[in-house]
Amino acid sequence: MLYTTSFWLTLFAALHYALGASTPGCGKNPPASGTKTIGSNRQYVLQVPANYNTSRPYKLIFGFHWLGGNMNNVAPGYYGLRDLAQEGAIFVAPNGLDNGWANTGDRDTTLVNQILAEIKNNMCVDDTQIFATGFSYGGGMSYSLACSNAKDFRAVSVIAGAQLSGCTGGETRIAYLGIHGVVDSVLNISNGRTLRDRYLRVNGCQSKNAPEPGRGADSNFMKTEYSCTAGYPVWWMAHGGDHVGSPSSGQNWMATHTWDFWTKAIYAGVENPTPTGTSTTTTTTTTTTSTTTSQQPQPTGNCSARYGQCGGQGWNGASCCQSGYTCTVVNSFYHQCL
Ligand SMILES: *[C@@H]1O[C@H](CO)[C@@H](O)[C@H](O)[C@H]1NC(C)=O
Ligand SMILES: *[C@@H]1O[C@H](CO)[C@@H](O)[C@H](O)[C@H]1NC(C)=O
Ligand SMILES: *[C@@H]1O[C@H](CO)[C@@H](O)[C@H](O)[C@H]1NC(C)=O
């Protein structure tokens, strides 16, 4: 029963992501940029793109501050992402209580849900392109949202994070980028690896060596791109430095790779289904639930041939088709390359 429910949710999510969707705020005059208040004690900074177009569905990016920081440390640069977005994204910097993200009683998840509702109602958002990032405690909060709100967020980038804000759920796929320093003296790199490993499992990634550099500069990094279920990549970037939210010298590679991850990597290998056709997409064919016992990597590198099976309940084989064929849902038990 759980599996069946999960299957349909996955199918729905895949179609939703593939087809795109804009929000009720499209067509409305936007709010002004600046600090907004929710309830009696919560705040966030909103950055509206210049020359805002009321009918263009924008990316929506959340940036979470570190312990001891606040929303005004994240705005207006948003970890270097705002320059890269070139006024093509709405940015939000929520403010933590006590300068952190303890998320006691889910209070911070609740805040994020309120902000999401407010922005979707008042602004034109592509709700298949909602992202979160943050450094340290802000990374922990981004991870917590990956666990609890994978239906809202398409991908996260967790910089020097740890499980500090909880992880409710955590069994739904979401594209995951982890960045960590090998000599992080605040939240050691094992923390970052543990967060990453959850999504290697949940996203059905093939195991792979993930080399890390020796102690050195935080401008020096090594990157591993795992092969995972199409649409749900995992990247791991280990650098030679300590606990930093951006490199202390040189180019901001954390921002540029986060941007590449959010704008390119999540689409690699994803086929666009024809809106008029049957439910056909390579991302509908496997499910990961809390009841899954097998942690075998999905053989995404070995796609099924024409007429071969490529998915369905209980199927553990290839979840993709060789070039030229599309994985087609024949029924919930049998997906075939046609
Ligand atoms: C506003 O966005 C819509 C939808 O993306 C686009 O068709 C239109 O050309 C844009 N208008 C301007 C003035 O850029
Ligand atoms: C890394 O940090 C975790 C959590 O604080 C701790 O349990 C673990 O012992 C640390 N590992 C090393 C190698 O220091
Ligand atoms: C790929 O599929 C072929 C034919 O089914 C099989 O013999 C081979 O072992 C598979 N390779 C991998 C890496 O799974």
Q: What is the pLDDT along the chain (338 residues), one digit of tens a residue?
A: 445 555 555 555 555 544 457 889 999 999 999 999 999 999 999 999 999 999 999 999 999 999 999 999 999 999 999 999 999 999 999 999 999 999 999 999 999 999 999 999 999 999 999 999 999 999 999 999 999 999 999 999 999 999 999 999 999 999 999 999 999 999 999 999 999 999 999 999 999 999 999 999 999 999 999 999 999 999 999 999 999 999 999 999 999 999 999 999 999 988 763 333 233 333 333 333 222 223 333 334 578 777 777 887 777 777 888 777 788 877 777 778 88
Number of other residues whose CB lies within 10 A of the CB of residue 19: 12
According to DSSP H, which parts of the chain are helical? Answer: 2-19, 71-74, 81-85, 107-122, 137-148, 189-202, 253-263
Mutate to test the pocket of ligand 2, among 137, 183, 188, 193 (most ligand atoms within 8 A of CB): 188
Q: Which of 302, 310, 337 to mutate to test the pocket of ligand 3 (most atoms within 8 A of CB)?
A: 302
Q: Which residues, in sequence order, are CB contacts of 301 under 8 Å at separation 6+?
A: 206, 227
Closest approach atom of ligand 2 to CA 189: 1
Contact 233, 261 (CB under 8 A): yes
Q: β-pairing, 125-135 with 175-181?
A: unpaired
Which among 15, 8, 1 has a CA at the least distance from the CA of 283?
15
Residue 293 CA to ligand 2 center (angstroms) comes to: 27
Which of 56, 87, 123, 129 has most ligand 1 atoms within 8 Å of CB, for mutation?
A: 56
Distance, in Å, from the CA atom of 333 to the CA atom of 12, rounded to the nearest integer, reads 16
Q: Which atom, in ligand 3's list, is nearest to the CA of 301?
A: 13
Model-level pTM? 0.76
Return the residue matching tokens 């959010």.
262
Q: Are 203 and 232 in contact (CB under 8 A)?
A: yes
For residue 299 and ligand 3, the question of a CB distance below 6 A is answered with yes
